[in-house]
Structure 1
Amino acid sequence: MRNLFLLIISIIFISCNDDVLPKPKAYLSLTYPEKKYEKLRIERPFSFEILKNTIVINEANNWLKIKYPDLKASIDITYRPVNNNLKELLTEAEKLVFKHTVKAEEIIPKDFVNPKKRVFGSIYEITGNAASHIQFHLTDSTHNFIKGSLYFYAKPNYDSILPAVNYIKEDILHLMETLEWKK
Structure 2
Amino acid sequence: MRSILILIILFMFISCKEAVLPKPAAYLSLEYPKKEYKKLAVKRPYSFDVLKTTTIVDEDNNWLKITYPNLKASIDITYRPVENNLKELLTEAEKLVFKHAVKAAQIIPKDFTNAKKRTFGTLYEITGNAASHLQFHVTDSTNNFIKGSLYFYAKPNYDSILPAVAYIKNDVLQLIETLAWK
- TM-score when scaled to structure 2? 0.88
* SS state at 2:77 partner: strand
Whole-angstrom CA distance in 2 between matches of 1:97 and 1:171: 19
* 1:119 match: 119
* 2:166 match: 166
Residue 20 of structure 1, CA deviation: 7.3
After TM superposition, the structure 1 = structure 2 runs for residues 27-176 of structure 1, keeping only pairs within 5 Å, are 27-176=27-176
Q: Percent identity?
A: 76
Deviation by residue 1:100-131 (Cα, 9 ceiling, x = unmatched): 01110000001011111000000000000000
Deviation by residue 1:115-149 (Cα, 9 ceiling, x = unmatched): 11000000000000000000000000000000000
* SS state at 2:53 partner: coil
* 2:9 match: none
Letter matched to residue 158 of structure 2: Y
Q: Which runs of 5+ in 1 are unaligned?
A: 1-11, 13-18
Whole-angstrom CA distance in 2 between matches of 1:120 and 1:23: 49
Whole-angstrom CA distance in 2 between matches of 1:83 and 1:56: 27
1:178 aligns with 2:178: yes
Closer/same/farther in 2, CA of residues 108 and 20 from structure 1, 3 Å limit: farther
The number of residues matched between the two structures is 166
Residue 35 of structure 1, CA deviation: 0.3
Whole-angstrom CA distance in 2 between matches of 1:143 and 1:21: 64
Letter matched to residue 181 of structure 1: W
Residue 23 of structure 1, CA deviation: 3.9
Whole-angstrom CA distance in 2 between matches of 1:137 and 1:86: 12
* 1:4 match: none
Runs of 4 or more, structure 1, over 4 Å off, are none
Deviation by residue 1:58-80 (Cα, 9 ceiling, x = unmatched): 00000000000000000000000
Letter matched to residue 165 of structure 1: V
* SS state at 1:57 partner: strand
Whole-angstrom CA distance in 1 between matches of 2:85 and 2:155: 35
Residue 22 of structure 1, CA deviation: 3.5
Whole-angstrom CA distance in 1 between matches of 2:141 and 2:20: 62
Q: Which runs of 5+ in 2 are unaligned?
A: 1-12, 14-18
Closer/same/farther in 2, CA of residues 21 and 101 from structure 1, 3 Å limit: farther
Whole-angstrom CA distance in 1 between matches of 2:147 and 2:31: 29
Whole-angstrom CA distance in 1 between matches of 2:106 and 2:74: 22
Whole-angstrom CA distance in 2 between matches of 1:21 and 1:145: 58
Residue 27 of structure 1, CA deviation: 1.6
